[in-house]
Amino acid sequence: MTTPGKFLSLEGLEGVGKTTNLAFIKERVEAAGYELVVTREPGGTELGEALRDVLLHSHHSMQAETEMLIMAASRSEHLASVILPALADGKWVLSDRYLDASLAYQGGGRGIGVQTVRHVHQLAGVTRLPDKTWLLDMPVNVGRERIQKRGKLDRIETENVAFFERCREAYLAVATAEPERIDVIDASQSIAEVQAAIDKSLAPLLQRID
């Protein structure tokens, strides 16, 4: 019988260093001998990637509830088509954002409410939570300074400071409510310090394969 894999997710606002640290986690998990599927949200499936384009690059305005429902639809497909089958096959899954992102962005940032977003996702069949989530956290203004250097911003990245402050507040509230699952990492530290904190958190999950 195949032992189910572990489900990991990395969260945080724009500019916190998710890309760099995804690569670091991937390296650590694979070095321990596990097969790893790295995926992202919105996206992860053919349908999800199409919806990602609508969410991030559409110039059309949309209601907050519409945005939430598109995210829930994409996530439901992602979970059923990619995440759960990989875990059942004994693979590990590392997702760049997952449900916590909607709790923060639509629940907090858009003002829909965290519990409403949770309920909608439950109706969509999104009931599997990650085994471990790392929330990379830093002051909003620091992250915004970083993304301004990237060039063209997507639809979400162009939101105002107040929006991202609400997102951050929601992220931290969820982390406070689920301390065993979510580890908050101070992303304003050096990369070495951030990765040392992630490594310390990840180590208990890894059973080295000889």
Work out the pLDDT band at 4, boundaries 50, 70, 90: confident
Q: Which of 110, 88, 93 is nearest to 101 (CA)?
A: 110
Whole-angstrom distance, CA of residue 109 vs CA of residue 106: 5
Does residue 143 have a pLDDT over 90?
no
Average pLDDT along the chain: 94
E strand map for the chain: 7-12, 36-40, 92-96, 132-137, 182-186
Does residue 210 have a pLDDT over 60?
no
The average pLDDT across 199-207 equals: 93
Does residue 209 have a pLDDT over 70?
no
- The dihedrals phi and psi of 134, each to the nearest 5 degrees, come to -110, 125
User: Poorest-confidence range of 65-79, 92-106, 138-152, 178-192?
Assistant: 138-152
CB atoms within 10 A of CB 92: 24
CB atoms within 10 A of CB 1: 4
Residue in the structure block whose two tokens are 């995926």 = 39
Tokens of 77: 């497909």
Task: HSE, CB side, 13 Å, CA atoms: give it for residue 79.
Answer: 19
Is the CB of residue 199 less than 8 Å from the CB of residue 134?
no
Q: What percent of the chain has pLDDT over 90?
A: 84
Whole-angstrom distance, CA of residue 98 vs CA of residue 13: 13
Residue 62, sorted as left (phi over 0), alpha (psi -120 to 50) or beta, turns out to be beta
User: Poorest-confidence range of 43-57, 82-96, 124-138, 177-191?
Assistant: 43-57
The average pLDDT across 45-56 equals: 93
Work out the pLDDT band at 158, boundaries 50, 70, 90: confident
Q: Would you call 64 exposed, middle or buried from its count of C-beta atoms within 10 A (0-12, 13-18, 19+)?
A: middle
